[in-house]
Structure 1
Amino acid sequence: MSLIDAILPLASNPTAGSAEVATVNADGTVDILINGAAVPAACIEAYADRAVGDVVFVIPVRGGYVVQGRFTTS
Structure 2
Amino acid sequence: MPELQAPIRGGAYGGGQIVGHPLAELYEEVAFVAYHFHWSLEDIMALEHAERRRWVSGISRINQRMNEATTHE
Name the structure where strand makes up a greater proportion of residues.
1
TM-score normalised per structure 1: 0.23
TM-score normalised per structure 2: 0.23
Radius of gyration: which is bigger? 2
Name the structure where helix makes up a greater proportion of residues.
2
The structure with higher relative contact order (CA 8 Å, sep 6+) is 1
